[in-house]
Amino acid sequence: MEQLLTVDDAERLAEAVVPAEAWGYIAGGAGDERTLLWNREAFSRCRLRYRILIDVSDVSTETSVLGTAVSMPVLVAPMAYQQIAHQDHELATAQGAAAAGTLLCLSTVATATPAAVAGAAPGAARWLQVYVFKDRSVSEEIIAEALDEGFSALVLTADFPVVGIRDREVRAAFDVPEADVPAYRSARQRIESDDPALDLLDAGVEWGYVTELRERFGVPVIVKGLVTAEDARLACEHGAAGVVVSNHGGRQLDGAVASLEALPEVVEAVDGRAEVYLDGGVRRGTDVVTALALGARAVLVGRPVMYGLAFGGAKGVQQVLEILRDETENALALLGCRSPAEVTREHVSTKYL
C-alpha cells in the first residue's frame, strides 16, 4: 500500500478507485457546496499563537471523551453506506480505528450491524449515532443491540429533518444502497411505503426525545448537528452529555455557517455543562489543535476516514488516523503544549475568522 504524507493524498488515491456515482455521495455537499468549502476554509482564518522555551521533550496526544480514553483528540465520525467505498465496509473502519487507538461512531444506517462491528474490533471504544425512524421501534432495537454489544453513548443526529439538496449526487446518479442497510430492511418490514429510504426517517423529532433517550437507555446522549448558542443551551437543559458542532459536513443546508465559525459561541453557551466536539473540514493536525484552542474536547473526521477505507481497507483507515495523530503531536510540541489539555484559548487568534 502506498505510503501517505497527508490526508489529501488519501483523497487522491480514493477517488482513483471509487466508482463515480459513489464518489458523488462521498465527496459532495449540498447545493453549490459553499458550506462544504467554508468548513475547510475557516481553519485558514485562524492564527495559532505558539509559546517558546517550554520543555516539550515528552508530548502525548492522549485524551478522553466522556471518560473513555483515546489515543488522540480525533474520533471517527458516523458515516452511512460504507459498502460503497470498500467491500469490508464498517468492519474495516472499526478495525482501523481500534488499531489507531481511537473511538468509532457507527451510523444507524450502516451496512453492518452493531453486533458485527463489535465482533470485528472486540473491546474497542464505540458510540452509536441515532437516526429516528417513523416507526421508532426500528431505531430502538438498533440502540438496544448496540448497548448490548458495549457501545457506550448515543449520538443523536439532529440536523437531518429532511435531506438537503445534493446536486452532485443527483448528477452522479447515486442511489441509496437500501438493500445493504439492515436498518432500512427492518423499516420496510414495518412501514408500508414506497417512499425513498430516507423518507422513512421521522421529521417530527423534538427536544424531548433527547431526554427520552437518556432516561430510557441510561447512557450519555450527545446531540450532533447544532451551530448556535440557542440550541447548545437547549441541549444542556435536556441533559445532553455532549454536543457536536456540525453542519453535517456541508451536506444539508448550503450557506450554513462553517462548523469552526460556530464553535466559540457554542462553547460559551455550554459553559462546561457538557463536552463539546466539532466535525467538518478537519484535514491537518493544526486543524485539530485549532479546534481544541477554541474549546472543542475532540474532533470527529468523516471523509478522510472514508478515503482511507476506499483505497486501503482497515490499514488505510489506520494510516489516515495515524497521520492526523502524528501531525497533532507535532503541532502540540510546536505550540508549546505537552498534551491536548494544555491547549487554551490563548493559543489561537480569531480576528480573521
| Catalytic residue (choose from 86, 89, 238, 248) | 248
Report the SS3 class of residue 1.
Answer: coil
Burial class of residue 206 (count of CB atoms within 10 Å of its CB; 0-12, 13-18, 19+):
exposed
C-alpha cell at 118: 463489535
Along the 353 residues of the chain, how does pLDDT read in single tens digits? 667 899 999 999 999 999 999 999 999 999 999 999 999 999 999 999 999 999 999 999 999 999 999 999 999 999 999 999 999 999 999 999 999 999 999 999 999 999 999 999 999 999 999 999 999 999 999 999 999 999 999 999 999 999 999 999 999 999 999 999 999 999 898 877 777 888 889 999 999 999 999 999 999 999 999 999 999 999 999 999 999 999 999 999 999 999 999 999 999 999 999 999 999 999 999 999 999 999 999 999 999 999 999 999 999 999 999 999 999 999 999 999 999 999 999 999 987 76
The CATH superfamily holding the domain 7-349 is: Aldolase class I (3.20.20.70)
First to last CA, the chain: 38
At 198 the pLDDT is 82
At 107 the pLDDT is 98
CA 104 vs CA 127, 174, 301: distances in Å: 6, 26, 10
In terms of DSSP bridges, do strands 275-279 and 221-226 run parallel, antiparallel, or are they unpaired?
unpaired
Q: What is the DSSP letter of 167?
A: H
CA distance 322 to 65: 18
CA distance 309 to 298: 21
CA distance 200 to 109: 12
Report the SS3 class of residue 74.
Answer: strand
- In sequence order, which ranges of the chain are alpha helices (DSSP H)? 7-17, 20-27, 34-41, 89-100, 114-120, 136-148, 167-171, 182-190, 208-217, 229-237, 259-270, 285-293, 303-335
At 194 the pLDDT is 76
Q: Across-strand partners of 130? A: 156
pLDDT single digits (tens) 172-230:
999 999 999 999 999 898 877 777 888 889 999 999 999 999 999 999 999 999 999 99
Crossing angle of helices 208-217 and 136-148, in 10° steps, is: 40
- How much helix, strand and coil, in percent to the nearest 5, is found in the chain? 50, 15, 40
At 189 the pLDDT is 87
CA distance 320 to 263: 24
pLDDT single digits (tens) 94-110:
999 999 999 999 999 99
Of 76, 67, 48, the C-alpha closest to 337 is 48
The pair phi, psi for residue 72, each rounded to 5°, is -160, 160
The pair phi, psi for residue 170, each rounded to 5°, is -65, -45
Catalytic (active site) residue 86: no
In terms of DSSP bridges, do strands 74-76 and 68-70 run parallel, antiparallel, or are they unpaired?
unpaired
Q: Across-strand partners of 129? A: 155
CA 177 vs CA 141, 157, 240, 253, 306: distances in Å: 21, 20, 32, 23, 16
Q: String of b and e for 150-187 (b: at least 16 CB within 10 Å)?
A: ebbbbbbbbbbeeebebbbbeebebebbbebbbbbebb
At 196 the pLDDT is 85
At 1 the pLDDT is 65
CA distance 94 to 313: 10
At 197 the pLDDT is 84
Of 91, 79, 83, 61, the C-alpha closest to 324 is 61
Structural contact between residues 108 and 130, judged by C-beta atoms closer than 8 angstroms:
yes
